[in-house]
Amino acid sequence: MKQLVLTNSKSHQRESFRPADPRNVTFYSCGPTVYSNIHVGNLRAAFTSDLIFRVLKTLGYGVTFVRNYTDVDDKILNRASEEKSTMEAVSKKYIAEVEKDYAMLGLLEPTHKTLVTEHITEIIQMIEDILNHGCAYVAGGDVFFAIDHFKRYGELSGRKLEDMEAGARVEVNTLKKNPLDFSLWKPAKPGEPSWPSPWGNGRPGWHIECSAMAKKWLGDQIDLHHGGQDLVFPHHENEIAQTECATGKSPYVQIWLHNAFVNFDKEKMSKSLGNVVLARDFIAKYGAELTRIVFLSAHYRSPLDLGESTVENALTVLERIYEAKGRLLSVSKLKGLVPDPRREEVWGAVLASLSQAQVRFEECLTQDLNTVGALAELFILIREWNRVSNESGMLGTPGAIQVAQAILDWLQGPVFQALGIGRRDSEQVADHVREVRVALSAQRGDAVLGDAEIQEKIAHRKEARLKKDFALSDQIRDELLKGGVELLDSALGTTWKRR
Ligand SMILES: [Zn+2]
């Protein structure tokens, strides 16, 4: 197995991943608070956790992957009062909606999907452990974590306690000994859902849930923990403090992984700018596979701009993959071919290029999930295959079939397994690409040639070529090009695409 290297947010360094048990990598990812439909920023986080899961499996690891839903939270309570509903009903409704979005994008099912409301016993137990280790205190019906009792506080986010204290807001809550102390347990407010505890009826604070659920399903110390970049502080900083105090073991997590934000045309996505895009709207507009390619087109730790130019680039990527796939499929079905030693040798070289591409593809993924590099390896191979298959007579020998089949197997096997792309029908994808291009052009206000009009011109050009009227044939090609339509002639006929 190749050595996987990941950037640990704690050290800011690339570190070799050495799980305690490679047959069972323990991996936790923080999921959404379920009070509304998720936006594309949440979707990028879920996509990143899915990518990590897929790559681990591709590399041969066994994985236990836990992703939670936060189903106890003030935001859910607010939504429940707006909708004249209950916290339980609101979270149930939005969990079902989020699951739909995840399924639309083709995310794999985690090993366990956990809910806070199903782990209240474990949460209470963990708070007791923290109290017993002297890292928390009870104040009335509240239990607070005492950050002064945890020396490593701030190590993940690189913050110094003195700086944090200097910058801390003076809170109305005078029950806290230090303004940075955070809630492990909150007393029940009238009319709100609550659970009995040694400190009276109440509900857990936000951070403790992930510590308790990770401990229950994965153990005291885990290999990987992921979340969006916004969770580094305070959520993950607090998780470390809680778990390490409760278990007495350090480190809680071997490698912390965080994905960066999404932007729209260089602007941050935010409610105040009014540019928040729901995950389902983005997927409905562009399709699941194109959305995946958009996400794969930037490193997970880099901000990703979801503006039109990123979508256009992803569209070209999708189109090229499926153009190649369509041609590979046609070639793989050719019959009555005659061996030719010189041509078999050339195909042998392409087969060797495939092996190299496979090795380098996997290497890219082991280098901190370099999806951009992995896609580039796929394209180097496609270019090589296009070049050879366009040479005269090259498709007439058995080697052509063997190579075409081997590339298809790779695309629909390991590439699909790791990146979740490449298994659709090439004609359907071609139609979809055309539709999205037309929609994008219409959005820009361009004049657009209809599909029927284009087909008519292509037929006209074919006639001209049969009559050897190359001047007319070229004229038609140029007209189409002016209308943003490019023709591609190959041994297999003429296809077209919008530019
Ligand atoms: Zn969490």
What is the percent of the chain where pLDDT is above 70? 98
Residue 284 CA to ligand 1 center (angstroms) comes to 28
Which of the two residues, 443 and 150, has the higher pLDDT score? 150
Whether the CB-CB separation of 71 and 34 falls below 8 Å is answered with: yes
Phi and psi at residue 289, to the nearest 5° = -70, -35
Residue 110 in this model has a pLDDT that exceeds 80: yes
Residue 271 CA to ligand 1 center (angstroms) comes to 22
The predicted structure's pLDDT at residue 413: 97
Residue 73 CA to ligand 1 center (angstroms) comes to 13
pLDDT band at 418 (very low <50, low <70, confident <90, very high): very high
Whether the CB-CB separation of 372 and 360 falls below 8 Å is answered with: no
CA atoms of 490 and 351, how far apart (whole Å): 21
22-25: Cβ within 8 A, 24+ apart: 22/60, 22/61, 22/62, 23/61, 23/62, 24/62, 24/63, 24/64, 25/56, 25/61, 25/62, 25/63, 25/64, 25/223, 25/224
Residue 395 CA to ligand 1 center (angstroms) comes to 54
251 is written with which tokens?
Answer: 């480190």
Q: What share of the chain is helix, strand, coil (3-state, %, to 5)?
A: 55, 15, 30
- Render pLDDT for 67-108 as a digit per residue (tens, 0 to 9): 999 999 999 999 999 999 999 999 999 999 999 999 999 999
- DSSP helix/strand/coil, 85: coil
Residue 336 in this model has a pLDDT that exceeds 90: no
- Render pLDDT for 1-12 as a digit per residue (tens, 0 to 9): 789 999 999 999
- DSSP helix/strand/coil, 69: strand
Residue 222 CA to ligand 1 center (angstroms) comes to 14
User: Tokens 């040798």 map to which residue?
Assistant: 345
- Render pLDDT for 357-389 as a digit per residue (tens, 0 to 9): 999 999 999 999 999 999 999 999 999 999 999
Q: Which amino acid is at 491?
A: A
Residue 446 CA to ligand 1 center (angstroms) comes to 46
Pairing of strands 493-498, 304-305: unpaired
458 is written with which tokens?
Answer: 């292509």
Residue 115 CA to ligand 1 center (angstroms) comes to 11
Pairing of strands 63-69, 112-115: parallel
Give the pLDDT mean for 218-222. 98
Tell me the whole-structure pTM to 2 decimals.
0.90
274 is written with which tokens?
Answer: 């009014």
Q: What are the strands, taking DSSP E only, across 229-361?
A: 253-259, 262-264, 267-268, 304-305
Residue 265 CA to ligand 1 center (angstroms) comes to 29
Residue 489 in this model has a pLDDT that exceeds 90: no
Residue 236 CA to ligand 1 center (angstroms) comes to 7
- DSSP helix/strand/coil, 56: helix
Between the alpha carbon of residue 184 and those of residues 31, 85, 124, 149, 311, the distances in Å are 19, 26, 9, 15, 43
Residue 52 CA to ligand 1 center (angstroms) comes to 17
Residue 91 CA to ligand 1 center (angstroms) comes to 16
155 is written with which tokens?
Answer: 């190590």
Residue 167 in this model has a pLDDT that exceeds 70: no
Residue 117 CA to ligand 1 center (angstroms) comes to 14
